[in-house]
Amino acid sequence: MRAVNANAHAGTDIWATEADGPEGLDGGVELAVSTVIFALRPHPESGLMTLWLPLVKRIREPYLGQWALPGGPLRPDEDLETSARRTLLRTTSVEPRYLEQLYAFGSVERSGTDAPRTSGPAQPSSPPPQPETAEAARVVSIVYWVLVQSDEAARAVDGENVQWFIADDLPPLAFDHDEIIAYALWRLRNKLEYAQIAQGFLGGEFTMAQLREVYEAVLQRRLDPANFRRQMITSKAVEPTGRKVTGTSHRPPVLYRFRTRIGAAAPEHVPRVRSRSAAAPPPGAAPAEARSRPAHDPHRGPGPDGPYHDPGTAGPAASGITPDLGTRTRPHTEGPVRR
Amino acid sequence: MRAVNANAHAGTDIWATEADGPEGLDGGVELAVSTVIFALRPHPESGLMTLWLPLVKRIREPYLGQWALPGGPLRPDEDLETSARRTLLRTTSVEPRYLEQLYAFGSVERSGTDAPRTSGPAQPSSPPPQPETAEAARVVSIVYWVLVQSDEAARAVDGENVQWFIADDLPPLAFDHDEIIAYALWRLRNKLEYAQIAQGFLGGEFTMAQLREVYEAVLQRRLDPANFRRQMITSKAVEPTGRKVTGTSHRPPVLYRFRTRIGAAAPEHVPRVRSRSAAAPPPGAAPAEARSRPAHDPHRGPGPDGPYHDPGTAGPAASGITPDLGTRTRPHTEGPVRR
DNA sequence: ACAAAAGTGTTAACCGTACACCCATGC
DNA sequence: GCATGGGTGTACGGTTAACACTTTTGT
């Protein structure tokens, strides 16, 4: 790669060859930035750590009164990421521990009115005739996903129109936000397996059990403590701080920290790693790149990353899609298996 | 995932809680869609298959005369992907075999003028003061990457202002297009390892040698023919058609086909797989998600996918980042190693 | 002592890798 | 027959996955 113009930026991406005259410059297309914010909190019933996210109640017509993702129009003097951070602050008053662009949603149909929108996932097909409601301008939403530390999120009380919900059990949502969230969830779960984003939910120091709890909560499956520890240690992702936790009524656990901090904004390129059965992503909605896992997330900037997973097809190299991390479900607290 | 409002679409992503009045609705922010188009052609010197991509010469002021990615403004009645396809047709007259959203680039600085744009990769930092050139509206570019079949691309002759270049040896580019291409290249190479996008360069039938040639060209390393074949076969990615190629001056090779076709548009969630040393992505530019591994690419729609790779950090599960595919470099045509 | 969780060891199965070797065809 | 890929066999080594076992603390 020969970066001739080092640090080139700016970019109008011009229709260089187009002899097009004034041509409709985004006539009527608005740009919004939305955010999917994740935090871990104990489940009200089981008490197990679970994924939660905040939604805001709409106070305008299209979908008035329904729940939607926090977001807003992009300001002319504001970067996309900055806009996402501003939304985060505004709705939850907490700082992001991890932030990354998810995807740009721009179907013509995903406009304002909750009209027809016939059926079937966003298939290529032909542009369906617009519903009656003529107004409602077209909006392209660039969505970011964010991780916030659990205890921080706990402090932030729900505001007037803001409320936290369990990510896997949401109320009816406005627009295509259910698909967006499904995609974000998929990305989070996928990326957790190859990138060190778990620290997005943790503080600077933590025990192996806490780290494992994050993985178990996000991946929704139990992990073998012994294998999990070894993998985290041998992967060089974490290192012991030397300190311990006392007063636990059992052997005092050692505290660990991540060797490298994850940023919160640029596009990144992550090396893919593994993946379990690669649960097919939500059929309808989301972006493409995400599968993969990509691994990666340099600037958190561009790119869906990676290693995301595909709708179903494995890849050539995908021959051995095998489990990973602490693997197996292990008896744990249920049944008289062990001992 | 409880899809309450099945197939919800539309979406203005409203600043629901915002009590903001008329507030600057995208005052001056324009939306463009650009495309990074890849095709394989033999290298003029070595004759080896190499990655090429078409660029267009700018005919307007910011960066007049320089090479840039094909693209144009988003039409109000056009989907993002449709816009990308239109650009592809316009510049190369070929059909896409694979198409996926790469990332949305929207830094405030990446505007029109090739002014200051100080230095350093797009770091969070504070918004640098705008250069003198007051005009040049701000543009947010949603970039797609596309794969076209080699022989098709070969037919398309270079137009007036369109010319194909070797992907790893490009001329100075306008705007931040060099970073965008670097990111797209990273994504292509990364995704090839876990998704079946190789068919984006091939026809319906091909020999193992041709398929391997695609991998070797994109990944820029030789693969062991024996192991490569086994992996492709056992991964169920391809299957023999029963037909053979004759007149080869050696044992006639069997023809294969992919078991599943890759689409060309929705966001996808791809299961991550492996990755070699996970070459760090280009520092400056790109998106975040891309790294990794990611896996997945449902709709080609949203999300960087995958398995992208990260700038450097491996993931927890990334413990065993090992090679894959046919592996090793193998003597091949050089030196008297074999036989 | 006992419970409970932290942490260590061990082993079988699987997969990636390397590389020797056989096969089929044109010249 | 011989050169040239196409295609098969196989053994080594590293990693994963499962699970038994030891350590350390509070009560």
User: pLDDT by residue for chain B (339 residues), tens digit each?
Assistant: 333 333 333 333 444 444 333 344 445 799 999 999 999 999 998 889 999 999 999 998 889 999 999 999 999 999 999 999 999 999 988 889 999 999 999 999 886 654 433 333 333 333 333 344 445 679 999 999 999 987 776 666 677 799 999 999 999 999 999 999 999 999 999 999 999 999 999 999 999 999 999 999 999 999 999 999 999 999 999 999 988 888 888 889 999 999 988 875 455 543 333 334 344 555 443 343 433 433 333 333 344 444 333 322 222 222 222 234 555 444 433 322 222
How many CA atoms within 13 Å lie on the side-chain side of B300?
A: 22
Residue A309 has pLDDT above 80, yes or no: no
| Rounded average pLDDT over A202-220 | 96
**Residue, of B288 and A62, whose pLDDT is higher:** A62
Distance from CA(B170) to C1'(D13), angstroms, rounded: 42
Residue A150: predicted pLDDT: 74
Q: Which of A172-176, A191-195, B58-62, B280-284 has the lowest mean pLDDT?
A: B280-284
Residue A249: predicted pLDDT: 86
Residue A210: predicted pLDDT: 96
**Residue, of B174 and A339, whose pLDDT is higher:** B174
Distance from CA(A206) to C1'(D17), angstroms, rounded: 25
Residue B49: predicted pLDDT: 94
Q: Which of A35-44, A66-75, B20-29, B168-177 has the lowest mean pLDDT?
A: B20-29
Residue B246: predicted pLDDT: 84
Contact yes or no for B8 and A179 at CB 8 A: yes
Q: Is the dihedral of CA B281, B283, B286, B291 positive or negative?
A: positive
User: Does domain B30-114+136-192 correspond to CATH entry 3.10.50.30?
Assistant: no
Residue B230: predicted pLDDT: 96
| Rounded average pLDDT over A116-138 | 44
Residue B309: predicted pLDDT: 34
Q: Which tokens is B191 given?
A: 């995704």
**Residue, of B305 and A85, whose pLDDT is higher:** A85
Contact B191, A295 (CB under 8 A): no
Confidence of residue A259 (pLDDT cuts 50, 70, 90): very high
Specify the DSSP class assigned to residue B9.
Answer: -
Enumerate the residues of chain A whose CB falls inside 8 A of the CB of residue B11.
105, 110-111, 139, 141, 174-177, 180
Mean pLDDT score across all residues of chain A: 72
Residue ranges of the alpha helices (H) in B21-176?
Answer: 80-92, 150-155
Residue A48 has pLDDT above 80, yes or no: yes
Q: Cα–Cα distance between A5 and B78 in angstroms, integer?
A: 33
Residue A65 has pLDDT above 70, yes or no: yes
Fold of A30-113+136-330: Nucleoside Triphosphate Pyrophosphohydrolase (3.90.79)
What part of B 209-248 touches A (C-beta under 8 Å)?
215, 231-232, 234-238
Of B165, B147, B160, B138, the residue nearest B50 (C-alpha)? B165
Residue B202: predicted pLDDT: 94
**Residue, of A291 and B193, whose pLDDT is higher:** B193
Contact A97, A200 (CB under 8 A): yes
Could you give the C-alpha distances from B257 to A35, B3, B198, B266, B337, in angstroms and in order?
41, 36, 11, 23, 32
Residue A319 has pLDDT above 50, yes or no: no
Alpha-carbon dihedral B273, B276, B281, B287, rounded to 10 degrees: 0
Angle at A286 between CA A285 and CA A290, to 5 degrees: 155
**Residue, of A272 and A320, whose pLDDT is higher:** A272
B314 lies within 8 A of chain A by CB: yes
Contact A277, A262 (CB under 8 A): no
Residue A120 has pLDDT above 50, yes or no: no
Q: Cα–Cα distance between B132 and B152 in angstroms, integer?
A: 45
Q: Which of A47-56, A122-131, A134-143 has the lowest mean pLDDT?
A: A122-131
Residue A293: predicted pLDDT: 38
Residue A283 has pLDDT above 60, yes or no: no
Of B1, B289, B8, the residue nearest A68 (C-alpha)? B8
Chain A residues 286-325 with Cβ under 7 Å of strand D are 322-325
Q: Which nucleotides of C are covered by protein (CB under 7 A)?
A: 3-9, 14-20, 23-27
Q: Which amino acid is at A158?
A: D
